[in-house]
Structure 1
Amino acid sequence: MHVPDGFINAPVSAVAGVVAAGAVAVGLRGARRELDERTAPLAGLVAAFIFAVQMLNFPVAAGTSGHLLGGALAAILVGPYTGLLCIAVVLLMQGILFADGGLTALGVNITVMGVVTTVVAYALFRGLTRVLPRTRRSTTVAAFVAALVSVPAAAVAFTLIYAIGGTTDVPIGKVLTAMVGVHVLIGIGEAAITALTVGAVIAVRPDLVHGARGLAAPLKLRVDGELVDAPASSPAPAAARSTRGVWAAGLAAAVVLAGVVSFYASASPDGLEKVAADKGIDEKVQEHDAAGSPLADYGIEDISNARVSGGLAGVIGVGVTVAVGSGVFWAVRRRRAPEATGSRTTESV
């Protein structure tokens, strides 16, 4: 759902940019409370993983494909504020390096794909986890539903923005129907990817999933034919458990997905591209300012082999995204310590 330049007029794009900048500022402030020594490096990994999975367009209808938006996944794994920053980092890297998503439309994309998806998904996820049993299965189900709803919500948000600042005269009702219809189908794929990923991490390290904190499935023992809770043991302090294994496995998965699996992704236009072509939204689309980038369109200039070109571009994208994301989140984490120390000093006085 990357909005290119030319879909939305300049004034509305500017307003969306201000909204996005404000949301990022709020995200930076909120992320200081969410990040700690273990989760700061993992947040950069989440951004890189979302970048990789977004390269995997999957077919959803005849001549139409979809890809992960990632807002729900990021919010559940590392928290809504940090999750928003993850999506912003991904969109920035895609726009600057790969000419994916217009630079003047960056504010629109962050608002639609970042703000809307993380807010809607995390609010729904939290609501569901409060009423469902506190189990791993229920948490995974809540992640599935939250991700499913977040995608058509983003489609509605885009339609509203287009209704205000669209550059072509298209009946909004038809745009809304088409956008929501195709993105409900895309949402099913989003939900499956999100649930599988969240479920996999919970199975290995539930302590690293922001949305599953406090989740502890008691060990069951069979006594006289009945299942009873085993005596509680004293777990190792969370800080003492290394995250290196999870980080290495996640990075390896991202590299394989972007460098190898992406070659087999659907070549059909995604939901927004298809609707734009069918309804005439793309009549005034503009060439991307970074169209001459050596990595434009997820390929490396001067490498004729499509498999090698796309694979190397994907690996480079994963590397740059994890480096930039990790740098941002470490910087946010480092700013937390002085503020926390200052607060304790003030309280002691």
Structure 2
Amino acid sequence: MSTSANGPAQGPRQDPTQTTTQRRTLRQDLSGRTRDVRGAIRRQIENAQSQATQAGAGAGPVAAGLVGAAGGLAALRSIGALRDWLTRLFDEYLLEPATGRQVQAGQHWTSSYTHHSYETGLRQARSALRTREYDIGDRGASAAITDQPHEQALQRQYEQAYYDLEDAVENTKQQVTRTIADGGYIEAESGEFNKRELIADINTEIEAQFGTRIRMVAAIEPVDAANEAALTAYQRAGVEQVGVEPEAPDEAGEQDLDWVTAGDWRVCLECRGLSVDGPYLLENVLSGDAPRPIRDSHLGCRCFLLPL
């Protein structure tokens, strides 16, 4: 049996939202796309520097940009040009920009994760409603998800996932721009451009932003989509009160991100408190006057709302 500072771990992790696979695969997808961005930046810096040197154009960054003749780095002599270059790379490899209509229609690459998580939450919610003898008909979740209330809720989740990712990408571009614009990549004695240091600094900044911003998308969106589906289903069924079903930790006591477990190794202190403080009026949860998993708990929360 494994232990940690809080004592022995007891029992396997429980994920009431059943979004473990979606969270893991979305995180892997985001990680792969982030690696692609880093690789593209490295290749373009190396290619530009090589051709600039061969052409006798000097070495490295000037003012707030880079000098080069290839790889999209030509004449990057301003912050604006530098940001345009980064935008092209981040858009191509990570964000894949979409129009508002495309996002609402579920045509962005994040939409499949959102849709699957929403349908998973809806399936669990309908099962819980049947157990509690609510009349919800005989249709399954895959059919019920096409009803207008669920279509509208799902569109909102599509938008939330896309714009959260867009915001994380924009923040990352800003940090990388500052890193490059700060300069300091010309060797004082030789005057040579230290491309390795520049690439390393860019990679460090991107990794830092991936951990603090981009990775949040994978931790938040599937759980929120599952609970959104449940809340919409409960509202349609006439549920008045809901309770919180919290997650238990895994055998090693490990949690994604900053999950703090309680001494009894059943739930984290924060979510145990939210569970004990319930039940909550459904209308208050919908209006934001009562807590909702992950939005009002913590990053890494897997709690799920159940009808009473």
Q: TM-score, normalised by structure 1?
A: 0.31
Q: TM-score, normalised by structure 2?
A: 0.34
Quick check: which one's helix share is greater? 1
Bigger Rg, which one: 2
Higher relative contact order (CA 8 A, sep 6+): 1
